[in-house]
Structure 1
């Protein structure tokens, strides 16, 4: 789709019918593109929670305070990836019916409606990123932080730190080997792909440690205050025996 001028974009999203409460939710994101910023309205509402007790909601890791309505400014850094996704869309709306297991997603572009676009998964991922940008911008959440740490048998310590600032789509990355620290250059796309690879694994919080590791091994922390050890509290997912090895090799490349 060729966009000569992007003025307004509205994204309407609702989780699939098969997703139960307290996880089911709706999102409405409205973006008006100004010269130096994006005028933004964001709403997220969790649905059908009246079917559950407060205890059932809390047991799933929620607080009951997840509904948000916010208006403010987002960085213009998000305009380019939005235009990139729009360029991948066909000019005609997708008329295919939504399946029960499919999320609902509708775009309103400069006043024209496009329902469940063919590149819907990419739009859903971008919506997650934009939602995170909203949460960081008004202070609900901090930038995403990840640290990989390796301690060898000779007590040599290597670490890789990654920070994603969704507010302005900025990446910070550092490597440190035996107290020698230097910055690394990563694109947003590379950093996002790495995070996606990390979260493929099976994490076991009950086997993780709250203390930063001092013993020999390979460890990772993903911003939840816990350190996961490779093969012990971070394991290969079902059907992917190469996960641990490939993830470790990926981090080794940054050193």
Structure 2
């Protein structure tokens, strides 16, 4: 099976606006990939404005390589069943797919565009990890209560679709749930190197210092914290 994804943001201004193509050729043990990223409309703004957003003069990127069997298993069957349509009412993104399989071809705009946007961003994160541009996902947690302290260290690999907490495997679905709950907060508070009070403390990249989740997660903090601890303590 061969799949070509054409993606473009529709509402983002420069220098954030971008488009990419992702060409995937599926084999039993791997996916051969060509990935091309282009930032759009940057001629409308100055270099100073681009750099103020943390970008450089040219951030376009191309990569050719492979991802392994875990990604074949994750994507293959769902891409065979993907719903495509001629037009879309999504005003935020354009996500078009061309799929060739067993002599048959289908093309159109993905119906579940937001879901596929998320999944394809994980593929791109796997590409960046394999290319050495991005590190593996790393977080540290400290839970302190009733005079006891527990430490947890998470490491996740998008390239291999694996994740461990204190070197014990958790599923990719559990990682999704954990990340959804962890990023209930924006991590804009003050960080500390050595937490001293009770609560759930999170270092979002294992380098920036800990922030107290309990104080920033809003009225549902207790319920969300319980879900996080349930996964950490398994």
Aligned residues: 227
1:214 correspondence with 2:195: yes
Does the aligned pair in 2 maintain the 1:10–1:109 contact within 8 Å?
yes
Does the residue aligned with 2:184 lie in a helix, a strand or coil?
coil
Change in Cα spacing, 1:53 to 1:113, as seen in structure 2 (3 Å) is farther
Residue deviations 1:167-218 (CA, integer Å, cap 9, x gap) = 11111122xxxxxxxx4331111112221222232321xx332x53231243
1:123 aligns with 116
Task: Give the deviation of 1:57 after TM superposition.
Answer: 2.1
1:252 correspondence with 2:213: no
1:81 correspondence with 2:74: yes
Does the residue aligned with 1:162 lie in a helix, a strand or coil?
strand
1:19 correspondence with 2:12: yes
Aligned equivalents of 2:112, 2:32: Cα separation in 1: 25
State which of 50, 71, 95 in structure 1 corresponds to 2:64.
71
Change in Cα spacing, 1:74 to 1:245, as seen in structure 2 (3 Å) is same
Aligned equivalents of 1:15, 1:143: Cα separation in 2: 26
Change in Cα spacing, 1:35 to 1:79, as seen in structure 2 (3 Å) is closer
**More displaced 10-residue stretch of structure 1: 111-120 or 136-145:** 111-120
Output the TM-score relative to the length of structure 2: 0.86
Aligned equivalents of 1:225, 1:64: Cα separation in 2: 28
1:106 aligns with 96
1:39 correspondence with 2:29: no
1:96 correspondence with 2:78: no
State which of 164, 168, 172 in structure 1 corresponds to 2:160.
168
Does the residue aligned with 1:125 lie in a helix, a strand or coil?
helix
RMSD: 2.2
Change in Cα spacing, 1:120 to 1:144, as seen in structure 2 (3 Å) is same
Gaps of 5+ in 2: none
From the two aligned structures, give the one with the greater helix fraction. 2
